[in-house]
């Protein structure tokens, strides 16, 4: 599949889904006043999700690229300036979330279980944290278990299904415990959740089980693990989440916080998640059996 075909495919799915979402869900009015935008909402979502798949993280870069190379697909780009584009992108965060959830419900199989994990997001370098003004009062210091160092920022908590789709996510300050974040994600839901050793807590796991959520995690301490074969089996099942987080780190550059406020930060996170979901849906529908969305444009 070439890029032109991919853009058209994504637009068709987003345009159809947007019409269904706006008609069936109680989103309220997306705009309280003023004329309709020059670029349709489905066009904006297509431009930014394809741009995210191509590795662009900033709205400016996405706008410049599509205005230079694909203005014949989106003629309205020639009639709006960059600030209007950026503002419309950020204002559509509710629609992005609704489209993402609708795609999961109607185009992705129901999983037998989900995998819980988290990804650190650094706001700035550790040495600059005391004088960093971005997200002051919202970000916090936390520990990164992968690289064994303290960082300043947020933590992206997600539930990933065996097919590679992110089913749910929350963003918390870096010092929030993973178990607390999981409680938020499974509130009102039932099912099985696979976690790593950070989720091991017998009393807490029994408390969740009484509420319909079975958390399955290996023993807290690897050196005293009474059943290492079982833990190794769980580790193999959880490798899928490492692939997904690798894609968000490398392709979608989630660890780079370019936004300066929570509004734009939330919009960019939703854009990455929606872009990943769409890429995986199109890749699977074109015959892909794994999660290597990097092969989409050459499949």
Q: pLDDT digits over 55-105, tens only? A: 998 899 999 999 999 999 999 999 999 999 998 898 888 899 999 999 999
Q: What residue segments make up the domains of the chain, in order of their start? A: 3-106+294-298, 111-256
Helix 239-250 vs helix 228-237: crossing angle, to nearest 10: 40
In 3-state terms, what secondary structure has residue 195? coil
Residues 253/55, Cβ–Cβ less than 8 Å: yes
CB 256 within 8 A of CB 57: yes
Predicted confidence band at 32 (pLDDT cuts at 50, 70, 90)? Answer: low
The token pair that represents 281 in the structure block: 């849906």
For residue 5, what pLDDT is reported?
94
d(CA 17, CA 24): 10
**Percentage, residues of the chain above pLDDT 70:** 95
Q: Which residues of 15-54 are buried (b: 16+ CB within 10 A; e: fewer)?
A: bebbeebeeeeeeeeeeeeeeebbbbbbbbbbbbbbbbbb
The mean pLDDT of the chain is 88
Reply yes or no on domain 111-256 having CATH 3.30.70.
no
Question: Looking at residues 262-282, what average pLDDT do you find?
Answer: 91
Token pair for residue 60? Answer: 């400016």
CA distance 186 to 183: 5
Q: What is the pLDDT of residue 149?
A: 81
Sign of the alpha-carbon dihedral angle for 179, 183, 184, 189? positive
Average pLDDT over residues 119-129: 83
At residue 156, the 3 state secondary structure works out as: strand
- Token pair, residue 157, equals 């908590």
Structure confidence at residue 30 as a pLDDT band (50, 70, 90): low
* Max Cα–Cα distance, the chain, nearest Å: 66
Provide the whole-model pTM: 0.90
* Neighbouring-strand partners of residue 156: 119, 171
Task: State the pairing for strand pair 166-173/213-216.
Answer: unpaired
d(CA 33, CA 197): 51
CA 197/CA 218 separation, integer angstroms? 5
Please tell me the predicted confidence (pLDDT) of residue 135: 83
> Exposed e or buried b for every residue in 224-236, given b needs 16+ CB within 10 A?
ebeeeeebeebee
**Element of type H or E holding 262:** helix 262-285
Question: CB of 244 within 8 A of CB of 169?
Answer: no
Residue 60 and residue 85: Cα distance in Å, rounded? 9
Length of the chain: 299
């Amino acid at each position: 599949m070439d890029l032109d075909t991919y853009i058209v495919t994504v637009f068709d799915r987003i345009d159809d889904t947007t019409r269904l979402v706006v008609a069936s869900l109680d989103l309220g009015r997306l705009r309280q006043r003023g004329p309709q935008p020059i670029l349709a909402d489905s066009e904006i979502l297509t431009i930014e999700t394809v741009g995210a798949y191509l590795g662009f993280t900033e709205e400016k870069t996405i706008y410049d690229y599509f205005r230079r190379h694909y203005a014949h697909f989106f003629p309205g780009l020639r009639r709006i300036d960059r600030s209007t584009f950026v503002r419309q992108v950020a204002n559509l965060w509710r629609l992005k979330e609704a489209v993402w959830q609708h795609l999961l419900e109607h185009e992705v199989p129901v999983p037998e279980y989900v995998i819980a994990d988290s990804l650190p997001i650094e706001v700035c370098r550790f040495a600059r944290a005391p004088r960093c003004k971005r997200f002051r009062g919202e970000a916090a210091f936390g520990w990164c278990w992968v690289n064994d160092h303290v960082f300043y920022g947020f933590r992206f908590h997600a539930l990933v299904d065996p097919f590679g789709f992110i089913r749910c996510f929350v963003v918390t300050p870096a010092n929030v415990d993973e178990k607390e974040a999981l409680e938020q994600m499974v509130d009102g839901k039932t099912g099985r959740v696979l976690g790593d050793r950070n989720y091991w807590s017998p009393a807490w796991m029994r408390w969740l089980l009484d509420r319909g959520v079975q958390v399955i995690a290996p023993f807290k301490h690897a050196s005293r693990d009474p059943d290492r074969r079982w833990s190794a089996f769980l580790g193999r099942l959880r490798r899928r989440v490492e692939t997904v987080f690798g894609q968000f780190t490398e392709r979608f550059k989630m660890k780079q916080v370019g936004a300066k406020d929570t509004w734009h930060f939330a919009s960019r996170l939703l854009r990455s998640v929606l872009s990943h979901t769409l890429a995986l849906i199109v890749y699977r529908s074109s015959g892909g059996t794994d999660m290597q969305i990097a092969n989409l444009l050459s499949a």
